[in-house]
Structure 1
């Protein structure tokens, strides 16, 4: 009987040692917890004048170490096997276009808002998914309809994202006013808020989407099409030229300017107070004077950003589409700002185009 106990103890000791050797060199793996032998609950086996101590704490710690290491290795394997889904711009080869500012966005456009002079363009006629930049048109329609902003709207199951499976802090059953939902949609890109605005529009969602497309046509946005109000669908598409037109139109609405550039907003949901923040950190940067903005992202669209801003005394509209990297769209905006500030007269203009001009959905 004592031999069986000894064999079990030796196996456990050997397992802990093997586990420590295995987990130590794993690159980027979560650090394995050390097996600490605690004094309580220690089993002692005496044989050949040697004492082997195995604590319950050591056994539990060893099992946890194996779970952490295995999970880390599994994550690395999944990431290696399943590459990131390419954007439409990448598929079309738009990232092959080089530009003097080394922008990470495959599509970019900078124009003078007052004179309509194009200062910088890169694949500006390419038609791509626009993700949550869609919500800017959603805001234009809601604001233009002059619906009561204090009307209470309830988030329902119909507002839950079945396109991408994205999460939301607005649970089904949440009740907020139309004004609150519009604020969250424009500032923090809240998908359920935007969908609820379209769903509860007089005539329902189909009427709302028709109005979105009709407004685009009226503004001369001929490369633009909408199928829903959030931007989760890759079939919501536009070009940089059209989006600059939309930004200019939306900037004329004081409410859209205020809500889109708000740095933060709190809403009461039941007994809780939820804090929402702007998805564009540049609105908090004192070096920027931003009059209107909207961000967007889905894998098909890449990172997107549109802004109206004032730089070196000039009112500019900036559009960045299909940027690679979470912060690269903001980095591109910073690069353009420094470029404009270093050449306030803007004697030179930049126009870059890749071989692929348009991407069908």
Structure 2
């Protein structure tokens, strides 16, 4: 019976080991997930990762399509390269007569280059595009020639422009592979990036028009969680649309071009491409959310120094041949944080570098409320430190009083001892005197 029990126990242990091994294999199998390339409606598309320098997604990248209004990114690029933003442009009658989508410019209206850029990139104003073209080159023929020369310099080999605004023409075309290069260059420009990423712009009144408010045509720009921070849409019909935009979230920087898409599917295709790219590009998690990155100084607070923590996970994306040793971080605390502050207040930044390039930034936040402190807090002393200092001061004062009292007591005791000694000496002298007198009398 004892042998039988041992045999059963052996069988049970072996079965358990097999189950554990199978579970391990199963978990490994589930851990390796294949990223499926999405199916999109667009005729041509490309996603380029600026971090790694790789094309993440491509569909018909060399096929020619009409770019439509994303052409205005080229016009914007030439405008910021050749004109000061505050230059005043007088709108010609020819420009004011441009139809379709416009910013309603009037003949003789005086507007700045900056205002035209907002009208062109936010409202997709065709009139603004022509006004900028005239301001740069003086006439459309020369400006269009400059557009094509610039595209060639950027590296576009299958692109040709016929106008500054993207109106459909047999001689106006591009490819997803070409326009991704244009998008990278245009949206890397700080002015274009700012304007193409603006949600609402208030234009001041001009000599011909009242003050106006522009709102972006890109819905994803208004969604703070989308990661899309700048871009331009193009439209001919609801069945023939385009899009060029830039995405950055958690350190991942993508440029995306979509051509020959439908209006109803364009945004959905963009989301699919972003989701695919986020999963496809391997990132290195540099720091986890909630990591203590040191202490920040709080002016006038109950506490004058408290811990700051990373608010989210942060990643760095390396070039294909890049090493993790290239990744470094730098903690920068704000030097003007004043009480009162609440839990979650941003008090600094953790900067992540790959080599010398800043690739990501993570806000640092506090995990506690800090009220305004007592008067010593204005000298950088917390309430707790004030209490300690007060107690120490009282202790020192008490010790000083005790020392003074002890010295006074010692002096009193010493005086009494001296007085007693004098009295004893006087008594002794009196006794001796009496003794001498007695002896003299007896004699």
Q: TM-score, normalised by structure 2?
A: 0.51
Residues 293-335 of structure 1 show CA distances to partners (whole Å, capped at 9, x for unaligned) of 11111249811111121245321111111111x2421111111
| SS of alignment partner, residue 251 of structure 1 | helix
1:83-142 alpha-carbon deviations (Å, 9 max, x no partner): xxxxxxxxxxxxxxxx95231211111121233312111111111111011100001111
Ranges of 4+ aligned residues in structure 1 off by more than 6 Å: none
Q: How big is the shift at 1:161?
A: 6.0
Q: Which residue is 2:273 aligned to?
A: 336
2:221 and 2:230 in contact (8 A); partners too: no
Q: Give the equivalent residue in structure 1 for 2:104.
A: 170
Q: Which runs of 5+ in 2 are unaligned?
A: 1-35, 284-443
* Aligned equivalent of 1:107: 44
User: How far does the alpha carbon of each residue in 1:155-207 deviate from its partner, in whole angstroms, 9 at most, with x for none?
Assistant: 33312566xx4143414223311111012112221110111110222442222
Query: How far apart are the structure 1 equivalents of 2:155 and 2:101?
Result: 34
Residues 273 and 339 from structure 1, CA distance in 2 versus in 1: closer, same or farther, beyond 3 angstroms? same
For 1:252 and 1:170, locate their aligned partners in 2 and report how far apart those are by CA, in whole Å.
29
Distance 1:332 1:233 in 2: 23
Aligned counterparts of 2:97 and 2:58: Cα–Cα separation in 1: 34
Corresponding residue of 2:156: 221
2:173 is the counterpart of 1:237: yes
Q: 1:128 maps to what in 2?
A: 65
Q: Secondary structure at the match of 2:196?
A: helix
- Find the counterpart in structure 2 of residue 206 from structure 1: 141
Aligned with 2:70: secondary structure? helix
Deviates further, 114-123 or 296-305: 296-305
**C-alpha distance in structure 2 between counterparts of 1:103 and 1:118, whole Å:** 17
> Highest CA radius of gyration, 1 or 2?
2
SS of residue in 1 equivalent to 2:160: coil
Structure 1 distance, partners of 2:71, 2:272, is 25
Whole-Å separation in 2 of the counterparts to 1:302 and 1:333: 15
Q: Which residue in the other structure is 1:261 paired with?
A: 197
What is the DSSP-based 3-state SS (H/G/I as helix, E as strand, rest coil) of the residue aligned with 2:191? helix
Aligned residues: 244
Partner of 2:52: helix, strand, or coil?
coil
Q: Label 1:139 to 1:171 Cα distance change in 2 as closer, same or farther (>3 A).
A: closer
Take 2:201 and 2:147, find their aligned partners in 1: how far apart are those partners?
26
**Does 335-344 or 290-299 show the bigger shift?**
335-344
Query: 1: distance between equivalents of 2:126 and 2:120?
Result: 7
Change (3 A) 1:209 1:327: same
Structure 2 partner of 1:182: 117
C-alpha separation between the residues in 1 aligned to 2:229 and 2:209? 34
Residues 209-268 of structure 1: CA distance to partner in whole angstroms, max 9, x if unpaired? Answer: 111111111111111111111111333211001111111111331111101111121222
- Partners of 2:175 and 2:66 lie apart in 1 by 9
The range that moved more, 148-157 or 217-226, is 148-157
Choose between structure 1 and 2 for higher RCO, CA contacts under 8 A separated by at least 6 residues.
1
Q: Is the 8 A contact 1:312 1:344 kept in 2?
A: no
Structure 1: 5+ residue stretches without partners: 1-98, 347-361
Matched-pair contact (CA < 8 Å) for 1:112–1:317: yes
Other structure's SS at 1:208 match:
helix
TM-score relative to the length of structure 1 = 0.62
Residue 345 (structure 1) shift: 2.9
Residue pair 2:49, 2:255 contacting (<8 A) in 1 also: yes
Residue 196 and residue 143 in structure 1: after superposition, are their counterparts in 2 closer, same or farther (change >3 A)? same
Alpha carbons 1:137, 1:212 under 8 Å: kept: yes
Of 219, 228, 234 in structure 2, the residue corresponding to residue 290 of structure 1 is 228
